[in-house]
Amino acid sequence: MTAAEHSEQVPRKERSLRLGLDKLGVAIALIVAYAVLVSPFTTFRANRIVPGAPETIINSLPGWAGAVLLGVIAVASLIALVKGPALSRLAAGFVVLAALAILIGISAAHLTPPGNNYARVSPASGFWLLVFAFGLLVADAFARLELAPLARIIVLLVTAAAIGLLLGSGAWDGLSIMKEYASRADTFWAEAGKHVTLALGSLAAAVLVGIPLGVTCHRVPALKAAVLNVLNIIQTIPSIALFGILIAPLSWLAAHVPAAAAIGIRGIGTTPAFVALFLYSLLPVVANTVVGLAGVPREANDAARGVGMTERQRLFGVEFPLALPVILTGIRIVLVQNIGLATIAALIGGGGFGVFVFQGIGQTAMDLVLLGAVPTVAMAFAAAVILDAIVELSARRGRAA
């Protein structure tokens, strides 16, 4: 083979590799095909509780809007299917998600009869599958781009601002979930405050107790096994069972200790939910503190001793900075976990978004369920992105130090 033939063959191989099928793209294309060809895009109901009639993309939207959406989905699916630059995949995913966000509001106006205040239009399985598929494409593109931590937070803030603009514009007011919100706006924000208080408050308490306990376990190895075994046992108790277990002692405490009752401790309500979330939070915080401190290089401690640092100075000046990324990873796990578990608190009167979830289940009103589930998922996702960025920043500073 001549040099010219070899040089011509190499670019051909590179082009064939670049134009090959992307494995994730194949999965995304299959999900999209099922969502478009099989699953309904929206569900129309005469009122909030009767069974709905599924509608395809073509029937859910005006003719021009349906054609635009199908065209955008087809082009984006081809981009996902073929190996290509991460930026083009990211743009394709964002364009489809933006189109879905805008056109789902148009579908509500299109399907609802004029002057009818009882009809309900909801996104159906096809819509959610499309959101999942192209959200997966966006996440994959971000992973390939390896954005800096601050850049990821900026993207999150821009996305939240765009969703806020859509909500404020009234583009989604015709959707059933927004009609559920409109009739419960005051209650929604009150329960949102309770949900955030439960999740963040229990996390703060676990950090205040768990980090010193983890330091103690690291310093006293004989204590480590006993503490971690107890916390592991607590972690295996189902949340509903733990709520029930706490009702009796907290009720006794409220009945026999006036000061406890005065500060709001009860057998049901926020207190048992808070205590249960606190107990669930201890294991990740304590375990990650122990692991993080155990992972500090011996040379770093030896150097600190060599320059005359006390044990306290070594802990705060050397060990904590190096162990911080691992400790923050435990805190991230706890926060995402608590945001989800706080939903269950509604079963014992603890409030939170679970109030809407369980009301919706009781009334067979799935849009009311979504009113509680969607913000819970959004909060957990945002918390994960922000804390992942903080963990990465702390790891970089630790390596630099």
- Asked if 92 and 234 sit in the same domain, the reply is no
* Domain that includes residue 42, residue range: 3-173
- Asked if 282 and 335 sit in the same domain, the reply is yes
pLDDT tens for 220-274 read: 888 888 888 998 998 888 877 887 777 777 777 767 677 666 666 666 777 888 8
Q: Is residue 263 part of a domain?
A: yes
The conformation of residue 318, written as its DSSP 8-state character, comes to I
pLDDT tens for 279-337 read: 999 999 999 999 988 887 777 777 777 777 777 777 777 778 888 888 999 999 999 99
Q: Which residue has better confidence, 73 or 184?
A: 73
- Asked if 260 and 162 sit in the same domain, the reply is no
- Asked if 337 and 389 sit in the same domain, the reply is yes
Q: What is the CATH number of the domain that holds 396?
A: 1.10.3720.10
- Asked if 10 and 31 sit in the same domain, the reply is yes
Q: Is residue 179 part of a domain?
A: no
- CA gyration radius for the chain? 26
Most confident region among 71-80, 167-176, 267-276 by mean pLDDT: 71-80
What pLDDT score was predicted for residue 264? 64
Q: Which two tokens stand for residue 228?
A: 């971690």
DSSP 123-172: E-HHHHHHHHHHHHHHHHHHHHHT--HHHHHHHHHHHHHHHHHHHHHTTT
Contact assessment for residue 138 and residue 93, using Cβ atoms and an 8 Å cutoff:
yes
Q: Is residue 180 part of a domain?
A: no
Q: Is residue 178 part of a domain?
A: no
- Asked if 193 and 160 sit in the same domain, the reply is no
Number of domains present in the structure of the chain:
2
Q: Answer yes or no: pTM beyond 0.85.
A: no
Q: How far is CA 348 from CA 188, 268, 345, 386, in A?
A: 18, 6, 6, 30
CA 205 to chain centre: 22
- Asked if 11 and 38 sit in the same domain, the reply is yes
